[in-house]
Structure 1
Amino acid sequence: MPKCTDRRMELGRVGRRVVEAAFDGGDIATDGGVVLLRQVDERLGLSRAAARAVGDSRRAASVEHGMRELLAQRIYGLCCGWQDVTDHNTLRHDLVWQTAVGRDRSLGSAPTLSRLENAAGARQAWALHGVLLNQFVASRKAAPAELVLDVDATHVPLHGQQERAHFNAHYDNYCYLPLYVFCGQDMLACVLRPSWRDPASIVSAVLKLLARRLRQAWPGVRLVVRGDSGFSRAKVLRRLEAWGIDYVLGVQKNPVLEWNCALAAQAVAERHAASGTKERLIGEFSYAARSWNRERRVIARLEHGAQGADARFVVTSLSGDAGELYERLYCARGEAENRIKEAQLDLFGRRASCHRYAANQMRLLLAALAYTLMINLRRLALVGTELQQACTVTIRTRLLKIGAAVLRNTRRVKLMLASQHPLRQVFEVAAARLAPVP
């Protein structure tokens, strides 16, 4: 362990008592809850599967830290809020962190973790996506009848000399535009993409690979793709229909679509003028854009309120009531945006600060693995508690960030957690549920 400074800091008085502080407490950890992540990881086999997928091309005689240990260290760090590899120059000596990773000596340093990220290439990215898919398949106890896949793209701002950096006028910044695919809360894919590429340019290829794996696991499953107007390209629609994948995708407004529902829009406006409240109407019609090979079903949602008229359009291959499809199916895609925010902001999926493009894809996937670990912590340990629907930041600050004194000898490692922690009962419930089966 590094020597702690004995320099005292004066922090005022409480009555007659002088308040002092110094970093001389010894083996006291701030991340006492990281051991829960270890238990979830052991239950899932996540870091072990990731290590097998990444492989290890290092010279065996010179290896001190195994690939599983390095990946676990980096993933747990993201879950606990340590976004940069430089944080591990100190964390590597923390006894709780060594225990969580499964070592009894120092963990990997920042240069070691940096080499791990920069050594990754396209093969590793492909293999880690397989880990995400296998985790999703293993999480389902029974074969589902239907899976709804949410596709969405977001931006990762760049502030350096990263490979394939390009200025995007919409975001007014140099950025990447990664493509995400979710099924419920589970992340199935996160593909890094230069900002000059159309979001729809790779989505059909990604969906084809996902459909192949999902149908291999569940041959009779029905797949429905849901997304905004950026993905309703003619090529995408034709390919989804050829592969037997249903879709409900937004369509960008244009004069022809508005002309098709002009009378209905006028009726909604008149109803608003008469009632003084917002009026809404959902209908449908057949429509074929110039680039489409045939007419398709389009659902129109028309509204008129105090701020004027608003129209939204959706193209779908599904049958059924137009109102149900729009309100219950299409509008529910907003949940995927919350999941993207959790992966990008809470788990630092926007930290694309490596120079190499492949290394930044690796960082995106490490955040995805950390996201998978956190949602399974909720599922396996927090159901029925006050944190069962909490986001990553809330779980981190209220359950993982617990002060703990550590005693380690040849027989055991004892964590003396803060006695007055407000969520002590929740921690005890989670630990009991994650306890290894004899």
Structure 2
Amino acid sequence: MPNCTADRMEFGRLGRRKIEANFEGVALSSDGGLMLLRQVDRRIGLSTAVAGALHDPRDQSLITHELRNLVAQRLYGLCCGYEDLNDHTALRRDPLMQTAVGTGDDLGSSPTLCRMETRATRADIVALNRVLIDQFVAAQSVDLQELILDVDASDIPLHGDQERSEFHGYYDHYCYLPLYVFCGKFMLACVLRNSRIDGAKHAAAVIKLLVTRLRQAWPKVHIIVRGDSGFCRQRLIRWCERQNVGYVIGLARNARLQRCVTAWEADLEQRYAKTQVKQRAIHEFRYGADSWDCERRIVTRLEFGSQGINPRFIVTNLDRQADLLYDDLYCQRGEAENRIKETQLDLFGTRTSCSRFLANWFRVLLAALAYTLMHRLRQIALAGTELASATAASIRVRLLKIGAAVIRNTRRISILFASHHPLRDLFLSASRALASP
């Protein structure tokens, strides 16, 4: 005979009444915002595009779960905070997750989702990166005159026996070293790499592919590549110069560069000695390293304060005012670092626990696609609201994690939210924005 009191909880009394709880609510869900994700996905066609890009070796006459449904289930789960496949053991029976995915039956189990990830091939990886940039192109409603591509790298710590796991001295642990490319808040590429390499490896090849695709969409667009000093490599710079692509890239400090700015720094030091106020100046000059085939324009930002000198250098082929190049263009590259953190921390882009390298790359790309879904939700449904610039984690906590009762019959599916939810008006506004064409 079952133990009917096993899940019963008691929380004391309120007056004469005993407070009890259990997990027998049946058709309830903690993720009411799934319906917003469903509407965004239907509008931009993300899960359909991903499913169309992946190979599916299963016998289609025998399958229970369509590939598109598995993809949607995984992406929606990441957006709602379910980072592990084990979460789907219970989540597959969530009535709202089933409704959002588009079925009334049990969704894919953890083993089914795991098989989808572990069978990933290199062709699948290339295709998913293509989906990322195609989503960016499709999201633009006007011809673009200028695009700025931010290229950056980060680390993904490893704690097991994953393929191509290597120790990285700078990060002081075993890790992968993924390469990301952003355009504004859109992610255009995500390349997983082993860590014992030059941080700029593959950057030139990835930028070449992206520029080719972007110029197919906008033949006259002016493209600028932006990155820190780790990407100051002749292969990338020379390619940009040959292809009429602008660049503004950090340049690591060295003795020769330091000698070029000695007089300017001496002037700042004298001014600081008189005023005891931190001094700052921006200058430019021509410079050619021994490994370069020509001299190039260098912009330097110099500072002198209580801790001494603090110079920064960038190399560029852009013909713009030096202070605007540094302050208004180069310094804005830090926004890409925030987007990487959002992908890795809020959407679990560091969950690379598979033994196969390609399976881990597939997982990282799923996080990138979940980021795309959340960004489009923010862009389409939350523009002009208090969550217009919120991170994925904030949107999840405030808008997606809403309790709801689900009533399903032969004529309709009714979703009942809490009457006194504090963001009721915002949820209504987002729903209406997604319903409009």
Deviation, structure 1 residue 121: 1.2
Deviation, structure 1 residue 436: 6.2
Deviations, residues 383-437 of structure 1 (Å, cap 9, x unaligned): 1211111111111001000000110011111111111111000001111111265
Aligned to 1:421: 421
Deviation, structure 1 residue 4: 9.0
When the two structures are superposed, what TM-score results if normalisation uses the length of structure 2? 0.98
**Secondary structure of 1:315 counterpart:** strand
Distance 1:236 1:292 in 2: 12
Aligned to 2:334: 334
Distance 2:419 2:68 in 1: 33
Indicate whether 1:221 and 2:221 are aligned: yes
Deviations, residues 195-248 of structure 1 (Å, cap 9, x unaligned): 012121200000000000000110001110000000001222112212221100
Distance 1:244 1:209 in 2: 15
Kept in 2, the 8 Å contact 1:250–1:314? The answer is yes
Indicate whether 1:377 and 2:384 are aligned: no
Tell me which moved more, 103-112 or 298-307.
298-307
CA separation of 1:194 and 1:48: change in aligned 2, threshold 3 A: same
Tell me which moved more, 278-287 or 4-13.
4-13
Kept in 2, the 8 Å contact 1:4–1:24? The answer is no
Aligned to 1:27: 27
Deviations, residues 16-62 of structure 1 (Å, cap 9, x unaligned): 44332211111110001101000000000010011000131111232
Deviations, residues 345-378 of structure 1 (Å, cap 9, x unaligned): 0000011111100001101110111001111101
Distance 2:194 2:262 in 1: 39
Aligned to 1:63: 63
Indicate whether 1:184 and 2:184 are aligned: yes
Indicate whether 1:89 and 2:89 are aligned: yes
Distance 1:377 1:325 in 2: 32
Distance 2:46 2:13 in 1: 49
Distance 2:119 2:5 in 1: 36
Distance 1:413 1:198 in 2: 54
Aligned to 2:168: 168
Output aligned runs, 1:20-419, within 5 Å. 20-419=20-419
Distance 1:436 1:117 in 2: 34
- Which one-letter code corresponds to 2:236 in the other structure? V
Deviation, structure 1 residue 330: 0.1
Kept in 2, the 8 Å contact 1:4–1:23? The answer is no
Distance 1:48 1:419 in 2: 34
Deviation, structure 1 residue 12: 3.0
CA separation of 1:435 and 1:5: change in aligned 2, threshold 3 A: farther
- Which one-letter code corresponds to 2:380 in the other structure? L
**Secondary structure of 1:224 counterpart:** strand
**Secondary structure of 1:434 counterpart:** helix
Kept in 2, the 8 Å contact 1:211–1:223? The answer is yes
- Which one-letter code corresponds to 2:362 in the other structure? M
Deviation, structure 1 residue 273: 1.3
- Which one-letter code corresponds to 2:256 in the other structure? V
Kept in 2, the 8 Å contact 1:342–1:392? The answer is yes
Distance 1:258 1:55 in 2: 54
- Which one-letter code corresponds to 2:399 in the other structure? L
Aligned residues: 435
Structure 1's consecutive aligned runs of 4 or more residues displaced over 6 angstroms after TM superposition are none
Kept in 2, the 8 Å contact 1:5–1:23? The answer is no
When the two structures are superposed, what TM-score results if normalisation uses the length of structure 1? 0.97
- Which one-letter code corresponds to 2:339 in the other structure? R
- Which one-letter code corresponds to 2:405 in the other structure? A
**Secondary structure of 1:225 counterpart:** strand
Distance 1:5 1:114 in 2: 35
Distance 2:4 2:309 in 1: 65
- Which one-letter code corresponds to 2:411 in the other structure? R
- Which one-letter code corresponds to 2:251 in the other structure? V
Distance 2:213 2:95 in 1: 40
Distance 1:311 1:213 in 2: 37
Distance 2:225 2:15 in 1: 65
Distance 2:162 2:246 in 1: 37
Aligned to 1:8: 8
**Secondary structure of 2:311 counterpart:** strand
Distance 1:104 1:10 in 2: 33
Distance 1:5 1:306 in 2: 68
Deviation, structure 1 residue 6: 5.5
Deviations, residues 126-174 of structure 1 (Å, cap 9, x unaligned): 0111111111011111111110000000000000000000000100000
**Secondary structure of 2:390 counterpart:** coil
Distance 1:330 1:105 in 2: 51
**Secondary structure of 1:187 counterpart:** strand
Distance 2:119 2:104 in 1: 26
Deviation, structure 1 residue 116: 0.5
Structure 2 stretches lacking a partner, 5+ long: none
- Which one-letter code corresponds to 2:83 in the other structure? Q
Deviation, structure 1 residue 189: 0.3
**Identity within the alignment, %:** 54
